[in-house]
């Protein structure tokens, strides 16, 4: 009985924190450990195959998910039609990957990619069904079920990938990890969703969902695909080892982004969608969520930039040390994105998902154009190409968001004062600690820098927030 009282309720924001933090940790440990076991060349092949799969998988898995979340009068015909239509599109995606794999392998000069991509393509229908079920769970704020996807399934998938790597499967270890993750999540969601779709495909229902789903899915396709396409394009210019180093550097940032955007999206999407017809309450909720996103994101991105050399050395060892500087550049460029709030969730709540598409097209185009113009030869050059897209989007998002909620710049500045001042204090403490940690081992230096920085940050927040939780968490 006591244990049950200590466990948060199924709709508690604590599950959001558990999911995002655990997801980041498992993703980082799994990727880096497997990459270290199989080496840069095999890790580069696995990264290219995974990028091809995820470019298709992520938008299909959320094809109608956001539209189901945003719609106020959701009926059974919407739910059932959406899931069957999504599975149908996933089957087409499987065929598309099977036919496109030889072209990707030819472009990258790696024939082993053909079978890897085709095998990953078989997972698309399972991932599609899981994505729709997860969207319905998020609509009902079933945060515990969503967290279980990570707390239960991620250890299984990482373990499967590590075992494959230890048995000499090379790049296929990353395929095994992805397959284990997709299939275990599918089984969990089917078993715990509490709902079974009717055998129906109502064209009218799909048409009602499409005005929100269409632009949003294109935006997600661009957002989730821009890095994968960037990696695929980079793979045609440089050796697999350079791709692997670039992938590791960028994945360090992805972990930080996943913690922030994952937590913000889980809280923001259902909350803002429920307030879509009350603009005053919507604006206040958006301000609270903007503050929360900055409170989590600014120290993570800044800390990653400061500790990148020690972190890469500790986790990956000597052969991967070249990933430190690219990781630092990309982390610094990500800082502005944590200052604009959960803008994609705002446009979804307002039904103006075309803005998400336009913004993501900018973020997609700038790095690819930079890649074609600069034609980098190493991971640092690739990072410089990527930085352009990261810096181009936040100003546009901030201006459009403030116009939509009818608030001035000073309003959002007041919400951001605590996280910005706290991060400045953390940065000063961490840099002083880094100076005193010179010559120490990577582990000792990392612990000292992180410990001093964290202590300074939380002390500053305790003063700035008056010892209270941020409003976004108090009202979750």
| Cβ partners under 8 Å of residue 125, min gap 6 | 87, 90, 91, 94
Report how far apart, in Å, the C-alpha atoms of 475 and of each of 12, 13, 18, 114 are: 10, 9, 18, 49
User: With pLDDT > 90 as the criterion, what percentage of the chain qualifies?
Assistant: 25
Please state, rounded to an integer, the average pLDDT across all residues of the chain.
Answer: 84
From 123, 134, 132, 135, select the one nearest 83 (Cα to Cα): 132
Does pLDDT of 3 surpass 50?
Answer: no
Does pLDDT of 368 surpass 70?
Answer: yes
pTM of the model: 0.71
Residue 2: predicted pLDDT: 42
**Taking residues 103-127, what's their average pLDDT?**
89
Higher pLDDT, 226 or 441: 441
Higher pLDDT, 432 or 330: 432
Does pLDDT of 301 surpass 90?
Answer: no
Higher pLDDT, 264 or 363: 363
Higher pLDDT, 458 or 274: 458
Does pLDDT of 369 surpass 60?
Answer: yes
Does pLDDT of 375 surpass 90?
Answer: no
- The answer to whether the CB of 322 falls within 8 A of the CB of 184 is no
Does pLDDT of 458 surpass 80?
Answer: yes
**Distance (Å, rounded) from C-alpha 144 to C-alpha 66?**
19
Residue 8: predicted pLDDT: 67
Does pLDDT of 4 surpass 60?
Answer: no
What pLDDT digit, counting tens, does each position of 302-318 carry? 998 898 888 777 766 66
**Distance (Å, rounded) from C-alpha 331 to C-alpha 250?**
9
List the single range of 25-34, 60-69, 196-205 with lowest mean pLDDT.
25-34
What pLDDT digit, counting tens, does each position of 31-80 carry? 677 877 888 778 878 888 888 888 888 778 878 888 888 887 888 999 89
- The answer to whether the CB of 461 falls within 8 A of the CB of 420 is no
Confidence of residue 144 (pLDDT cuts 50, 70, 90): confident
């Amino acid at each position: 009985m006591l244990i049950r009282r200590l466990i948060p309720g199924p709709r508690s924001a604590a599950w959001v924190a558990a999911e995002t933090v655990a997801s980041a940790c498992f993703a980082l440990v799994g990727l880096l450990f497997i990459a270290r076991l199989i080496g840069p060349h095999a890790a580069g092949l696995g990264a290219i195959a995974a990028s091809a799969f995820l470019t298709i998988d992520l938008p299909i898995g959320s094809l109608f998910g956001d539209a189901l979340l945003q719609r106020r009068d959701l009926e059974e015909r919407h739910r059932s039609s959406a899931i069957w239509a999504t599975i149908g599109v996933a089957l087409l995606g499987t065929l598309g990957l099977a036919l496109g794999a030889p072209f990707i392998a030819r472009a990258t000069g790696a024939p082993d990619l053909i079978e890897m991509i085709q095998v990953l393509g078989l997972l698309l229908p399972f991932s599609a069904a899981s994505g729709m079920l997860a969207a319905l769970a998020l609509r009902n704020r079933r945060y515990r079920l969503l967290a279980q996807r990570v707390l239960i399934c991620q250890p299984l998938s990482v373990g499967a990938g590590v075992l494959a790597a230890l048995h000499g499967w090379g790049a296929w270890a990353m395929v095994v990890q992805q397959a284990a993750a997709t299939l275990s999540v599918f089984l969990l969601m089917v078993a715990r969703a509490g709902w079974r779709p009717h055998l129906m495909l109502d064209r009218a229902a799909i048409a009602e969902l499409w005005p929100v789903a269409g632009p949003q899915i294109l935006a997600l396709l661009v957002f989730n695909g821009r890095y994968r396409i960037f990696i695929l394009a980079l793979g045609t210019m440089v050796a697999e080892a350079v791709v692997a180093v670039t992938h590791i550097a960028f994945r360090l940032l992805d972990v930080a982004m996943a913690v922030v955007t994952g937590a913000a999206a889980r809280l923001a999407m259902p909350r803002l969608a429920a307030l879509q017809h009350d603009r005053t309450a919507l604006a206040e909720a958006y301000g609270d969520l903007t503050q929360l996103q900055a409170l989590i994101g600014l120290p993570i991105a800044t800390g990653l930039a400061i500790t990148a050399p020690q972190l890469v050395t500790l986790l990956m060892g000597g052969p991967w040390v070249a990933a430190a500087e690219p990781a630092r550049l990309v982390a610094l460029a990500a800082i502005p994105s944590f200052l604009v709030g959960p803008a994609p969730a705002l446009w979804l709540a307002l039904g103006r998902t075309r803005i998400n598409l336009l913004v993501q097209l900018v973020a997609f185009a700038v790095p690819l154009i930079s890649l074609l113009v600069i034609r980098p030869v190493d991971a640092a050059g690739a990072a410089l190409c990527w930085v352009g897209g990261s810096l181009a989007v936040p100003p546009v998002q901030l201006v459009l968001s403030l116009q939509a909620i009818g608030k001035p710049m000073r309003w959002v500045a007041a919400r951001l004062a605590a996280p910005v001042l706290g991060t400045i204090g953390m940065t000063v403490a961490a840099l002083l600690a880094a100076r005193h940690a010179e010559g120490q081992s990577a582990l000792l230096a990392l612990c000292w820098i992180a410990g001093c920085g964290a202590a300074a940050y939380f002390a500053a927040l305790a003063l700035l927030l008056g010892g209270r939780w941020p409003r976004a968490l108090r009202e979750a």
